[in-house]
Amino acid sequence: MADKCKVCGAKSVYFGDADVLRKLRVQYFRCPRCGFMQTETPYWLDEAYSSAIASQDVGIMFRNLMNREVTSAVINLLFTSTTSCLDFGAGH
Ligand SMILES: [Zn+2]
């Protein structure tokens, strides 16, 4: 099953599978035009976010800032000629 790229609209092609929520096997697709990666239509979001952002979770911003640093380092290391990138639906 292929899906249209959510960034440029080209037909994405199957890339691989991965487990989501440690129980769902989800397909990933990659756009041959722009390289954007996306999953099949997500049907697990209600469950995924039902308890992820609890009022007692005081570490959410810390984790987001830490993930920003790691993501930035990976992008700078692997895509040295890239001057910009898009964070599409990746949370806070
Ligand atoms: Zn695309």
Q: Is the pTM of this model over 0.75?
A: no
Q: What's the 4 CA to ligand 1 centre distance in angstroms?
A: 8
Residue 90 has pLDDT above 70, yes or no: no
Distance between Cα 89 and ligand 1 center (Å): 15
Spatial CB neighbours of 75, under 8 Å, sequence gap ≥ 6: 82, 85
Q: What is the pLDDT of residue 91?
A: 63
Q: How far is the CA of 6 from the centre of ligand 1 (A)?
A: 7
Q: Please check the confidence at residue 86 and state whether its pLDDT lies above 80.
A: no
Residue 1 in this model has a pLDDT that exceeds 60: no
The helix (run of H) or strand (run of E) holding residue 26 is strand 24-30
Q: What is the pLDDT of residue 54?
A: 58
Q: What is the pLDDT of residue 88?
A: 72
